[in-house]
Structures are given as C-alpha cells and as structure tokens.
Amino acid sequence: MDDLQIIALYWARSETAVAETARKYGPYCRSIARRILRSEEDSEECVNDTYWKAWEAMPPQRPRQLRTFLGRITRNLALSRWEKAAAEKRGGGQVPLALEELAECVPAPDSVERAVDDMALTQLLNEFLGGLPAETRRIFLRRYWYFCSVKEIAADFGISESKVKTTLFRTRNRLKQHLEKEGVML
Amino acid sequence: MKSKRILDALGQVDENYIEEAAPEATPKGKKYRWVKWGALAACLCLVLCGAVFFVNRDAPSSVADANADTGITVSEDGVAIPPANVTLAVPDDVEMCWAYAFFIYQGRCYKGYETVYDDADLIGEYLGTAAGMLDVWTPKEGYVELAGNISGDFYSVKGYDPGFMLCMRESNGAIQIFINDNDLTLKYGADLFEDRFHLSGNFEEVRYQTRASWYNSTDEIFTLEREAEPVVDDFVAALNQGEFMRTADIPLDEGQHSIYDKEIYHVTFCKNDGMTITLRLLEGGYVHFGTYFGGTCVKVDEKAFNTLIALFDSGEAAKAD
C-alpha cells in the first residue's frame, strides 16, 4: 500500500491505518528506537507510541514523507525515554557517545554571541547540512540522527571505520565554525 | 546540556536530508529469493499484531515483564491464563497507553490478531455486531457484551472454533482476525497449535529470520525449501507434545539478564488458508507466541528444536539468489 493510501486511512479513521503503518514502517521505526534505547521492551513501547502519535496527528496533518514523519516521532519519543533512563543511570548505547562528540560543536563564548531558539538553530543546521557534500551529510546524519555506530556506517558505505571517524570529526569542526560564524550561543 | 540541544535540533532538520540518510532496509549485496511450497498464492507477510489500537499498559507489553503480574498460574492441568483485564482508561501516572483492537462477545475478549489481505475464504456465519462504544472515559461497567474499541459485523472463521477465533470484514476487503487468548488453560502445545490453529499439515510455507536480522530490522528472511519438510514436521510434532510454562520461569544462563540475551529465531508458518503463525524460538527449546497468550511459552524437546535451529544456522535449506 502506498503512503497516500495509508494517510487516507488515517483521515478516514480506519483501524487498518495502524496495521498498514506497522507492516510498512514498523521495522524502520523499531531500528531507530533500538539504537537509542537498546532495550527491546522500551523500543517496542516506543514504536507503539509512535503509531498512537501518528493517529493523533492525522488529521489534521498530511505528511509529505510518511516514513520520515514516523521516524521523527520515534526518534523524539525514544530520546525522551532515554533521557529518563539516563537520569536513573540506566542510559547507555550510542546516545551518550553522540552527545559527547557533539559537545565539540558547541561554539566557544564570544562577545557577539546571540542566543538562538530551537527553530533558528534548526534553520542554521539546515543551512549547514545543505552546504555539505551529499555523502558527508548522509554519514553525519546516519551518526547523529539515526545513531548508527561507526562500524555500521563503515559497513554500509563500504569505507573504513577510520575514514568514518575522520569525516565525522571534520564535519563537527565545520559545524562548530558555522555556528561560531553566526555568533550562536547555545 | 548544550550538545543535547544540537541533537534535538537535528531531529527537526529538513526531511529530505533524513530520508536521504536512511539506512538501507536490506543488507547490500545479499538478496534472498522466496521459495514457495506448492502452488502458493500471495501469502503476504503480515505483522502479527494486525490492526491494533488503544491502550492498556496494564497488560504485559513484552515477555520480559510478563511475570506474576499477569496472574498466570501453573498447576497439573497446565498454565492458566486469567481473563483479560481490559481497560482503555489511562492510569494517572502514564502518559499514553496502548493495546489491541478488541471486542467482547459471549463474555470473552477477542483481540486483533492479524489482517489477511488476499481473497481468503475465511468468513463464516454472521454472529453479531460489535458496537464499539468504549473509549478512555468509559467506566468499568461500560465493558459489556459487544462493547469494544472497534465496531462492525463479526463472523465465525471457517474451520475454526468461534470460541477461539472470529473475524470482521474491513472496508477495503481485507479480513481482520480476532482471537481469544485469555481465560483459558493450556497444558500441551497441541492445545493451542492443533486444537485451535490446526497447524499440522495445513501450512505451505515456512520462513525464518535470524536474531541479527530481527534485532536490526534488516528483514533478512529465508524461506525453507521442501527438503526441510521432515525437520519442520518433527519440530511441529515436538511443539505439540511440549508443555506450556510461564515465560518468566525460563532459566537464564550465566551473564544473561533477560531472555533477549538468548539466541533468538523467528519462524513463521504460512497456513493454506492465508493466516500466519509467527513463533519466537528461544535458545534452549522455548517457543513463545508473540504478544499473544502473554507470559507463556512451550518447552519443546531440544533434539527436534536444535535440529531445526541447525538447519537455520547452516542456511542449507534456504535457497539464495
């Protein structure tokens, strides 16, 4: 079933919408949740919550890309769960590593700095990503959006792990420079 | 934490970038051909839970928490699964809940099992009309005969006991199957797989998936060839002879924190009538039936179990392109 048909089922409030979503995008959402949560039980609940959120969102929304729409919900829900787990010292997985790496991108304090809201920060990130070569962008997002390990990325792109690490390192530096150039304060 | 702000903001970046970076659904350079058993029409790979809906985190969401809370008791008669404690009401301390599509008929709770999409000849006699009616505000006394979170005419399923299985016709022509997996006692595997599902001799394709594929959602699914039939038949016989037990009683080996640390395979039987039965095979001979019959599994003779696993491990019985 194509995405437009699935979205139409949501708008028609047909129960089949959820079954079709689970069938087509369940594995995609599960893989996002698992990388963040590392717990099968939590991931399964997170994916189920994703369907619930999708049911609440459609209507009124009509996502242009259903897969990304669902993936984004899963990622947000999983990160919230991860945060709670981390507060209880049950975190782990790729998220703390990704956070540690991204700390390198935080701009150094400067006299011309300005505080940006989340929307503006996303806009700056979009500009930054748009300026990257496609493969670099994909590697960067594979690591910090999908939380794939360096090993997984290397295998998927057919490159060495050291090349992945170097690419990520350079891209983080570029991001830091980009944010500093914009005078951003986080 | 400042880096968390970047992580969160990245979550909202242009969807085209996210789509572009999405991991491949299947591993590169390896594709597997489906090998049919007999003249099989499109036996679609269906998710077990079918069209499921709102809500009840009181119910076990996984085998890991399916323990004494489920109220399952063990006696000489077998494993007794108590009546489903269904409620759509959201507990105060829970943000959101979830459960199955369900309705109540003759005092039994029928849960959504799967949706059959091809032209399966499954719809039997008209038995009634589920009224829907229930939502998160319905008090407990509203959970009456024919109430549920789904509405529509329901029917018996040809060849199956209506005390176990019912179905509804979806507006798109698909058939939604419901099963009653609670308020019953199961002693042997045959009580479920033969008496209720009529598995032996009624399946035309068997698929399996490795733990890595299941865990990483790479959909690396193999279909057994006909030469595997004797091994599969032995396994089904052992499954029928195996005794039910509580999943919580599965012994863990040293270093294992949950049953998910065990080697896991998933095997799906595609039945002649279009339905599927997906079983989770846990190292040591334990067979668990997805999210149904919560908190129970069948302990299968290890010889038959391991022979089937060895077949999976060897990859010999599945033809690859």
pLDDT at A60: 83
Distance between CA atoms of residues B37 and B270, nearest Å: 10
Count, residues in chain A: 186
A134 touches chain B (CB under 8 A): yes
Distance between CA atoms of residues B141 and B61, nearest Å: 25
- Token code pair at residue A67: 């897969």
A67 touches chain B (CB under 8 A): yes
Whole-model pTM: value is: 0.56
A45 or A183, which is more confident? A45
pLDDT at B64: 33
Q: Which regions of B70-164 does DSSP assign to beta strands (E)?
A: 73-75, 78-81, 102-105, 108-116, 123-133, 147-148, 151-157
pLDDT at A93: 73
Q: Look at A129 and B6 and tell me if their CB atoms are within 8 Å.
A: no
Number of A/B CB contacts below 8 angstroms equals 169
Q: Look at A126 and B14 and tell me if their CB atoms are within 8 Å.
A: yes
pLDDT at B216: 61
pLDDT at B71: 79
HSE of A134, CA atoms in CB hemisphere, 13 A: 5
Q: Look at B22 and A67 and tell me if their CB atoms are within 8 Å.
A: yes
pLDDT at B30: 32
Tell me which chain B residues have a C-beta less than 8 angstroms from the C-beta of A100.
Answer: 3
pLDDT at B25: 52
- Token code pair at residue A93: 């997985």
Is the pLDDT reported for residue A30 higher than 70? yes
pLDDT at B49: 29
Give the pLDDT confidence of B24-72 residue by residue, as tens digits: 654 333 332 323 322 222 222 222 222 233 333 333 333 333 334 567 8
Of B13, B18, B23, Cβ closest to residue A156: B23
pLDDT at B89: 53
Name residues whose C-beta falls within 8 Å of residue B103's C-beta, 6 or more positions apart in sequence: B109, B110, B130, B146, B147, B148, B149, B150, B151, B154, B178
Quickly state the pLDDT bin for A100 (edges 50, 70, 90): confident
pLDDT at B87: 57
- Distance, in angstroms, between A30 CA and closest chain B CA? 7
A78 touches chain B (CB under 8 A): no
Distance between CA atoms of residues B71 and B306, nearest Å: 31
| ipTM computed for the complex | 0.89
Q: Look at A67 and B49 and tell me if their CB atoms are within 8 Å.
A: no
Tell me which chain A residues have a C-beta less than 8 angstroms from the C-beta of B14.
Answer: 126, 129-130
pLDDT at B117: 76
Q: Which residue numbers in chain B have pLDDT < 70?
A: 1, 24-70, 85-100, 118, 133-142, 215-219, 290-291, 317-321
- Token code pair at residue B63: 């085998």
- Distance, in angstroms, between B76 CA and closest chain A CA? 31
Give the pLDDT confidence of A148-161 residue by residue, as tens digits: 989 889 988 888 88
Give the pLDDT confidence of A109-166 residue by residue, as tens digits: 654 455 567 778 888 899 999 999 999 999 999 999 999 989 889 988 888 888 999 9
A117 touches chain B (CB under 8 A): no
Tell me which chain A residues have a C-beta less than 8 angstroms from the C-beta of B50.
Answer: 19
% of chain A with per-residue pLDDT over 70? 91
